[in-house]
Amino acid sequence: MVRVGVNGYGTIGKRVADAILKQDDMELVGVVKTRPDYSALQAVRRGIRIYAPDAESARKLEAGGVPVAGTIHDLLGQVDVIIDATPGGVGAKYKPLYEEAGVKAIFQGGEEADVAEASFSSLCNYEQAVGKRSLRVVSCNTTGLLRLICTLNKAIGVKSVRATLVRRAADPRETKRGPVNSINISPVKLPSHHGEDVKTVLPGLDIVTAAVVVPTTLMHVHLVNLRLARPASLDEVLEALQSTRRIMLVDSGRTGIKSTAELIEAARDAGRPRNDIPELAVFKDSITINGDELILFQAVHQESIVIPENIDAVRAIMNMASREESIRKTDESLGLGTPLW
């Protein structure tokens, strides 16, 4: 049983903690929370032990009715691996603490790539991550792009990728982020960093990305234009995409789903926890092939897509299972591929 701690209990941290609780080869020792709020109180009700980043936060948590099991130093003394889910850039500040404690660390995509020994994507480079001291699970957009690229690479081969990302402005619970009434070209100077982030996992890939930010909180949407290594048929592409539970094909003709709003509603109707869609959602009817050129729309549920990769990252960094075994265990335990309609 590998003992795991989670530092940071926001959008990603709370989902990672729940996912660890579902694994039969991992134990969630506790989570680090800064403030006593509804999330902390809910975690306490569910029996999750709360640790504080420092003594001052511990006092505030206790005063707010949240029992504290200790500070992050106490947590680090009891775990084999820590998953850092603090806001982008904060993880790098914690890195020396993790190293000092001799604990392996898994960071998130908001950190610079050099925070860890390797950037990680289960379908692309699981084997290279085995036994490392630190990993960085790439961001939600990068995870979505890599799932598509590595799945097609394995079956057919991918020569180059051009992608336009329509990004959500904020997560649903965030009250202070925008834009409220604008489409922000972000960044104006091309390319956007997302393609560069893909290259932290696939260094040789010819990829260029551009991104805009729109006033929505539900999901990102990508228009991907991909040059395959050779001409392929629609059947071959569909077969490749159906070979993994990490990709969901959305049949708009049959389901009527033509938007992120309807996709999230389908997840709600299906009773998915927090309406999460950790699968990459590829719109089947958008798949267009001209010889070796492939065009499609895909949607990324930013709050949950990196959760399976975090669980695989624990198995890879601790050398607990082969890639196939880890992916199978993760997918089964988290219910990936269970139908939404």
Q: What is the footprint of ligand NAD within residues 51-70 (CB under 6 A)?
A: 53
Q: What is the 3-state secondary structure (H, E, C) of 278-327?
A: CCEEEEHHHCEEECCEEEEEEEECCCCCCHHHHHHHHHHHCCCCCHHHHH
Half-sphere exposure of 335 (CA within 13 A, CB side): 15
Contact set for ligand NAD, span 305-334 (CB under 6 A): 306
Q: What is the dihedral of CA 151, 157, 161, 163, to 10 degrees?
A: -30
Interatomic CA distance for residues 278 and 266, integer angstroms? 14
Beta bridge partners, 128, equal none
Interhelix angle for 323-334 vs 11-21, to 10°? 100
As measured in angstroms, the least distance from the Cβ of 72 to ligand NAD is 7
Residue number of the CB closest to ligand NAD reads 10
**Smallest separation (angstroms) from ligand NAD to the CB of 57:** 8
**167 to 196: interface string for ligand NAD, x by CB under 6 A:** ----x-------------------------
Identify the H or E element spanning 137: strand 134-137
Binding part of the chain for ligand NAD, among 82-90, 157-165, 195-203, 259-267 by CB under 6 A, reads: 82-90
Contact pick of 140, 202, 219, 318 for ligand NAD (by CB under 6 A): 140
Residues 230-249 interacting with ligand NAD (rule: CB under 6 A): none
Give the whole-angstrom CA distance, residue 281 versus residue 299: 5
88 binds ligand NAD per the rule CB under 6 A? yes
150 given a catalytic annotation: no
Element (H, E) at 221: strand 220-228
- Interface residue with ligand NAD, options 86, 134, 200, 326 (CB under 6 A): 86
- Least distance from C-beta 31 to ligand NAD, angstroms? 9
**Which of 50, 58, 115, 140 is an active site residue?**
140
Cβ(330)–Cβ(312) under 8 Å? yes
CB of 258: closest distance to ligand NAD in angstroms?
23
- The answer to the question of residue 23 lying near ligand NAD (CB under 6 A) is no
| Least separation in angstroms between CB 56 and ligand NAD | 12
Residues that bind ligand NAD (CB under 6 A): 7-13, 32, 34, 53, 85-88, 90, 108-111, 139-140, 171, 302-303, 306
